[in-house]
């Protein structure tokens, strides 16, 4: 299950609208755990980090996050005791469903991959997929329920989405 605060959820959808007709992308920082009762994987989002899409040759249907942005996000997270627990991107004028490319280029097993469909510039469906499996050869996406937390967030967390390239 993806457990995400409302402000961050809306922020990543807004990111997709801002970059339309190109794909947006970003990194989700938080904590991973397993439910005590049924062992379901829970990825709890605490912060989202906007990243630039380096696929400028085909940004309308491809995205890539610079590894350097990942290194910086990981460092930023560690300062707050957070891990990289997922990623998000948008599908401009395309469904919120993972593609063959999304699976082929997903390597963070155990992480959540959030996809927002952006239709004519407006965010539509947002879905999350958990990358599971024990190896590259056996990896697969599973539909992942999304729980949107309505609770208030701290004042200094309102700027929940920051650019990894601007700090």
Partner 1 sequence: MSIKILIPTPLRVYAGGQDTVAVEAGTVGEVMAQLTILHPELKKHLYSEGGKLRSFVNVYLNDEDIRYLPESEATPVTPADVLSIIPSIAGGWGCPRSCAGGSGRALRCGRAQPPRTN
Contact residues for partner 1, defined by CB under 8 A: 23, 25, 27, 32, 55, 58, 60-65, 67-68, 70-72, 74, 78, 83-85, 87, 89, 91, 93-95, 97-111, 113, 117, 119, 124, 135-136
Report d(CA 8, CA 6) in Å as an integer: 6
Instruction: Closer to partner 1 by CB, 7 or 65: give it.
Output: 65
The minimum distance between CB 66 and partner 1, in angstroms, equals 9
Give CA 90 to chain center in angstroms: 9
Instruction: Closer to partner 1 by CB, 28 or 160: give it.
Output: 28
- For residue 101, the surrounding DSSP H or E stretch is helix 100-104
What is the chain's alpha carbon radius of gyration, rounded to the nearest angstrom?
Answer: 15
Instruction: Closer to partner 1 by CB, 39 or 67: give it.
Output: 67
Residues 6+ apart with CB under 8 A from 113: 86, 87, 88, 89, 98, 102, 106, 128, 129, 130, 131, 141
The minimum distance between CB 150 and partner 1, in angstroms, equals 27
The minimum distance between CB 100 and partner 1, in angstroms, equals 4
The minimum distance between CB 15 and partner 1, in angstroms, equals 15
Question: CB 94: neighbour CB atoms within 10 A?
Answer: 15
């Amino acid at each position: 299950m993806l457990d995400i605060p409302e402000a961050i959820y809306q922020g990543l959808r807004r990111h997709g609208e801002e970059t339309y007709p190109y794909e947006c992308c970003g990194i989700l920082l938080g904590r991973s755990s397993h439910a005590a009762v049924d062992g379901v994987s829970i990825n709890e989002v605490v912060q989202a980090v906007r990243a630039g899409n380096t696929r400028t040759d085909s940004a309308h249907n491809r995205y890539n996050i610079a590894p350097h942005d990942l290194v910086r996000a990981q460092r930023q997270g560690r300062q707050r005791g957070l891990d990289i627990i997922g990623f998000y991107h948008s599908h401009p004028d395309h469904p919120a469903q993972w593609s063959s490319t999304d699976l082929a280029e997903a390597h963070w097993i155990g992480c959540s991959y959030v996809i927002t469909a952006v239709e004519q510039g407006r965010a539509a469906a947002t879905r999350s997929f958990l990358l599971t499996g024990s190896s590259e050869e056996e990896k697969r996406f599973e539909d992942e329920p999304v729980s949107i937390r309505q609770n208030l967030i701290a004042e200094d967390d309102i700027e929940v989405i920051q650019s990894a390239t601007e700090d």
